[in-house]
């Protein structure tokens, strides 16, 4: 699969913000703009293409009919995270701090399965 230069760079920047316990990335659009130097529209278009190419899953967190923030999951991480979250001995499963990460992960996994 061929990625454009902006898609590669934006994917790397998003990946830089990955939470290794919940496998989610949540940089703001303004932060991505600042780090890449790309226009808002180029970034939006590139993220949409990364979704179409099954590189990432994007989840928009909406509160009061407004997008509060966006979470990104890399599809390769989803398979690894699935194994970790399903392992009953995993430290993640024993720590309530990661409960929200697990719920976000389950939603991303369901979205991936529905979009496939």
Find out whether 13 and 36 touch, Cβ atoms under 8 Å.
Answer: yes
Beta bridge partners of 89: none
- Residue where the block lists tokens 């939006």: 44
pLDDT at site 63: 82
User: Counting runs of H as helices and runs of E as strands, what totals does the chain give?
Assistant: 6, 3
pLDDT at site 92: 46
pLDDT at site 88: 56
pLDDT at site 15: 86
Domain with 96, as residue range(s), is 5-115
pLDDT at site 91: 47
Q: Tell me how many domains the chain contains.
A: 1
Give pLDDT tens digits along the chain (116 positions): 799 999 999 999 998 888 766 677 889 999 999 999 999 999 999 999 999 998 888 888 788 888 888 888 887 766 665 565 566 555 445 555 555 666 666 666 666 555 55
């Amino acid at each position: 699969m061929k990625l454009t230069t902006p898609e590669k760079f934006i994917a790397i920047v998003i990946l830089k913000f990955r939470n290794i316990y919940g496998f989610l990335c949540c940089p703001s659009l303004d932060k991505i703009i600042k780090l890449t130097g790309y226009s808002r529209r180029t970034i939006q278009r590139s993220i949409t293409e990364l979704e179409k190419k099954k590189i990432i899953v994007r989840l928009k967190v909406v509160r009061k009919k407004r997008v509060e923030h966006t979470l990104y999951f890399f599809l390769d991480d989803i398979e690894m995270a699935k194994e970790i979250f399903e392992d009953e001995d995993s430290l993640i499963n024993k720590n309530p701090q990661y409960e929200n990460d697990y719920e976000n992960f389950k939603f991303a996994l369901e979205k991936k399965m529905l979009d496939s």
